């Protein structure tokens, strides 16, 4: 297992194009060097401020300029966020992710989110937020509140980016990643496939991620969820095996990062999800919603994971009187996180 930060697009594209079974065999072998293949990390994502976003991301139903079914909602109260986090904890999630549809939050808004981060972290859960672009001072404010991860996806390659988003440039995203990293917060950074991009663009996205130093601790790979009213609705669907190839390449290029099978699972067959997990994905979102789009739901996920002889991971939580919802749950303790392994490499 080699950690590199000098990948080229040609190398990444050749990796994705390798003979399918060879690619998956190597990805699974690398996966086993850092992760238990019978364990999957679980997170829950909550939209804490919905809709009315001024951006023009062509995939997003929360953009104010698109006519979708999403109704704008104000920032949730901290007490309501904590109540949702408790429910997430009871479902077996170890990470609670909070998303707000902002282009760039105000300092006051960041302060309110920081209060929620502090309260959720007190439950014993890892915390992650996605709020749009951040300044250095805002990044430090969230770090001081105990934020574990900041999600800020690159979405796609620099070359394809302008066909999806015009209200901010690629460098804006990289600047926010640098601000968050400088504040000491871990990165959750990935992208979306199935937006009409080429394999070269998928390789370009992986190169941007893998050449960050250090690699993002968490790498979500999203399959486009086509929402009526958004510009990408009606885009020809991606070959499902291309998603598997992309995940396998991500595992090989970022061997110690947690690769998360994210949006789009509700439109995937169980067999496709199993292949993605075999290719190196080691994390999923639980629940029946991801921000404003559908997700399979706990019952379906529990059934699928049971059929795959796979358990949910818990890192720091202990099933005791402080966390009664965990008592008797099918959870295993993972003694060393991927971030710890990578940081000592």
Instruction: Considering the candidates 173, 188, 202, 251, report the single residue annotated as catalytic.
Output: 188
CATH code of the domain covering residue 208: 3.20.20.70
Q: Catalytic residue at 57?
A: yes
| Span 208-218, average pLDDT | 95
- Alpha-carbon span 113 to 306, nearest angstrom: 35
pLDDT, position 315? 47
Marked catalytic residue, from 95, 168, 173, 260 = 260
Residue-level pLDDT at 291: 65
Judge whether residue 52 has pLDDT over 70.
yes
Convert the pLDDT of each residue in 282-296 to its tens digit: 988 776 655 666 566
Domain that holds residue 17: 9-343
Contacts for 104-111: CB closer than 8 Å, 24+ residues apart: 104/132, 104/133, 104/134, 105/131, 105/132, 105/134, 105/138, 107/137, 107/138, 107/141, 109/75, 110/134, 110/138, 110/141, 110/142, 111/141
Residue 96: CB atoms within 10 A of its CB come to 28
pLDDT of 344 > 50? The answer is: no
* pLDDT(196) > 90: yes
Please say if 188 is a catalytic residue: yes
Q: Which residue has the higher pLDDT, 110 or 68?
A: 110
User: Is 109 a member of any domain?
Assistant: yes
Indicate which residue of 95, 97, 276, 342 is catalytic. Answer: 97
The total of structural domains in the chain comes to 1
Share of the chain above pLDDT 70, in %: 87
**pLDDT value at residue 296:** 63
Predicted pLDDT of residue 90: 81
Active-site annotation holds for 189 = no
- Is residue 3 assigned to a domain? no
Do the domain assignments include residue 14?
Answer: yes
Mean pLDDT for 197-218 is 96
Query: By the 8 A CB rule, do 34 and 259 touch?
Result: no
239-253 average pLDDT score: 97
Q: What pLDDT sits at residue 1?
A: 66
Q: Active site residue: 57, 173, 202, 276, which one?
A: 57
Is 69 part of a structural domain of the chain?
yes
Tokens (6 digits) for 342: 């990578």
* Furthest C-alpha separation in the chain: 54
In a domain, 2, yes or no: no
Per-residue confidence (pLDDT) for residue 330, from 0 to 100:
32
Q: State the average pLDDT over residues 42-62.
A: 86
Structural domain includes residue 267: yes
pLDDT greater than 90 at residue 328 = no
Averaged pLDDT, 242-258: 96
**Which two structure tokens, joined as six digits, stand for 328?**
């008797």
pLDDT value at residue 105: 94
- What are the tens digits of pLDDT across the range 86-128? 888 887 778 888 988 899 999 999 999 999 999 999 888 889 9
**pLDDT at residue 67, rounded to an integer:** 85
H or E segment to which residue 240 belongs = helix 240-253
Question: Which pLDDT does position 297 carry in this prediction?
Answer: 64
Residue 333: the pLDDT is 28
What CA–CA distance (Å, rounded) separates 265 from 257?
A: 20
Q: Are 28 and 255 in contact (CB under 8 A)?
A: no
What pTM was computed for the model? 0.84
DSSP letters, 21-75, are: HHHHHHHHHHHHHHS-TTEEEEEEEEEEEBS-B----TT-TTBTTS--SPPPBPP
CA torsion sign for 228, 169, 150, 330 is positive
Q: What is the pLDDT of residue 251?
A: 97
Q: 265 catalytic, yes or no?
A: no
Mean pLDDT, rounded, of the chain:
85
Return the closest-CA partner of residue 337 out of 148, 190, 182: 148
Q: What is the C-alpha to C-alpha distance for residues 338 and 336, in angstroms, rounded to an integer? A: 7
Determine the Cα angle at 50 with ends 48 and 55, to 5°.
125
Question: What's the rounded Cα separation, in Å, for the pair 222 and 155?
Answer: 9
Is residue 276 annotated as part of the catalytic site, yes or no?
no
CA atoms within 13 Å, Cβ hemisphere of 151: 26
What DSSP string describes 37-51?
TTEEEEEEEEEEEBS
Q: Are 259 and 282 in contact (CB under 8 A)?
A: yes
Catalytic hit among 4, 95, 128, 199: 128
The answer to whether residue 87 sits within a structural domain is yes
Average pLDDT over residues 145-169: 94
1 located within any domain: no
Distance CA 322, CA 90 (A): 12
Which parts of 62-169 fold into alpha helices (H)? 78-90, 107-121, 136-144, 158-161
> According to the model, what pLDDT value does residue 294 have?
58
């Amino acid at each position: 297992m080699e950690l590199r930060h000098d990948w080229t697009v040609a190398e990444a594209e050749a990796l994705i194009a390798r003979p399918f079974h060879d690619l998956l065999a190597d990805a699974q072998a690398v996966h086993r060097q850092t992760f238990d293949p019978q364990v999957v990390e679980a997170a829950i994502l909550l939209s804490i401020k919905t809709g009315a976003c001024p951006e023009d991301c062509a995939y997003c139903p929360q953009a104010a300029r698109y006519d979708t079914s999403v109704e704008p909602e104000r920032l949730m109260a901290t007490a309501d966020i904590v109540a949702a986090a408790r429910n997430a904890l009871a479902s077996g999630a170890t990470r609670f992710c909070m998303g707000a549809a902002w282009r760039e939050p105000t300092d006051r808004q960041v302060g309110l989110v920081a209060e929620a981060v502090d309260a959720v972290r007190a439950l014993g859960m890892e915390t992650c937020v996605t709020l749009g672009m951040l300044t250095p001072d805002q990044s430090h404010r969230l770090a001081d509140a105990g934020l574990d991860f900041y999600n800020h996806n690159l979405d796609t390659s620099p070359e394809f980016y302008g066909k999806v988003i015009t209200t901010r440039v690629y460098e804006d995203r990289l600047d926010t990643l640098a601000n968050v990293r400088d504040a000491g917060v871990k990165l959750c950074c990935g992208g979306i496939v199935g937006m009409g991009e080429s394999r070269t663009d998928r390789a370009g996205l992986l190169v941007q991620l893998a050449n960050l130093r250090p690699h993002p601790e968490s790498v979500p790979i999203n399959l486009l969820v086509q929402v009526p009213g958004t510009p990408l609705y009606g885009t020809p669907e991606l070959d499902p095996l291309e998603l598997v190839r992309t995940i396998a390449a991500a595992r090989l290029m970022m061997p110690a990062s947690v690769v998360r099978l994210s949006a789009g699972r509700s439109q995937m067959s169980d067999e496709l999800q199993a292949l993605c997990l075999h290719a190196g994905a080691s994390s999923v979102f639980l629940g029946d919603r991801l921000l404003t789009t559908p997700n399979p739901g706990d019952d379906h996920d529990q059934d699928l994971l049971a059929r795959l002889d796979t358990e949910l991971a818990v890192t720091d939580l202990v099933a005791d009187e402080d966390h009664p919802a965990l008592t008797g749950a099918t959870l295993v303790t993972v003694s060393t996180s991927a971030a710890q392994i990578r940081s000592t490499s």
